[in-house]
Structure 1
Amino acid sequence: MTAPPVVEDRVADAVSGHWVDRRAPRPARPYLRLARIDRPIGWWLLLLPCWWSSALAAIAAGRALPDPWHLVLFLVGAIAMRGAGSTYNDIADRDLDAQVARTRNRPLPSGQVRARQAAVFLVVQALVGLAVLVQFNAVAIAVGVASLVPVAIYPFMKRVMPMPQLVLGLAFSWGALMGWVALFGGLQAPALLLYGGTVAWVIGYDTIYALQDIEDDEIAGIRSSARFFGERVRLAVGLCYGAAAALVFAAGWQAGMGMVGALGVGLFAAHLGWQVRRLRARDGHGALGLFRSNRDAGLILFAGLAADAAWQGLL
Structure 2
Amino acid sequence: MQRAIQKAKDFNELVMFEHSIFSLPFIFIAMVVAADGWFGFWLLFMGVLAALSARNFAMGVNRYADRDIDAQNPRTSGRPNVDGRLNASSILLFIFVNAIIFIAVAYMINPLALKLSVPILIVLGSYSYFKRFSSLAHIILGISLGLAPIAGVIAVSATIPLWSVFLSLGVVFWVAGFDLLYSLQDMEFDKENSLHSIPSKYGSENTLKISAYFHSLTVLFWVLFVYYSGLGAVAYVAAIGSALVLAYEQKLVRKDFTQIDRAFFTVNGYLGIAFFTLIVIDRIVA
Write out aligned runs for 1:160-309 (5 A).
Answer: 160-230=133-203, 231-280=205-254, 283=257, 285-292=258-265, 293-309=267-283
1:10 — aligned with what? none
Maintained 8 Å contact 2:64/2:81: yes
Following superposition, the deviation at residue 282 of structure 1 comes to: 6.9
Give the superposed CA RMSD: 2.2
Deviations 1:185-230 (A, max 9, x none): 1112111111211111111111122122222222222222333442
C-alpha distance in structure 2 between counterparts of 1:239 and 1:185, whole Å: 33
Compute the TM-score of the two structures, normalised by the length of structure 1.
0.83
Amino acid at match of 2:23: L
What secondary structure is seen at the aligned counterpart in 1 of 2:185?
Answer: helix
Write out aligned runs for 1:73-92 (5 A).
Answer: 73-92=46-65
| Higher CA-based Rg | 1
- Which structure carries more relative contact order (alpha carbon 8 Å, separation 6+)? 1
1:51 — aligned with what? 28
1:29 — aligned with what? 9
Higher helix share: 2
Compute the TM-score of the two structures, normalised by the length of structure 2.
0.90
Following superposition, the deviation at residue 103 of structure 1 comes to: 1.3
What secondary structure is seen at the aligned counterpart in 2 of 1:211?
Answer: helix
1:131 — aligned with what? 104
Amino acid at match of 2:54: M
C-alpha distance in structure 2 between counterparts of 1:64 and 1:25, whole Å: 38
Aligned-pair identity in percent equals: 24
Following superposition, the deviation at residue 27 of structure 1 comes to: 4.0
Amino acid at match of 2:280: A
Deviations 1:260-285 (A, max 9, x none): 111111222211111112222871x3
C-alpha distance in structure 2 between counterparts of 1:282 and 1:101, whole Å: 20
Structure 1 segments unaligned to the other structure (5+ residues): 1-21
Following superposition, the deviation at residue 50 of structure 1 comes to: 0.9
Deviations 1:96-139 (A, max 9, x none): 11111111112222222221221112222223323332331111
Following superposition, the deviation at residue 67 of structure 1 comes to: 4.3
Maintained 8 Å contact 1:139/1:185: yes
Amino acid at match of 1:108: N
Query: How many residue pairs align between the two structures?
Result: 283
Amino acid at match of 1:306: V
Structure 2 segments unaligned to the other structure (5+ residues): none
1:148 — aligned with what? 121
2:74 — aligned with what? 101
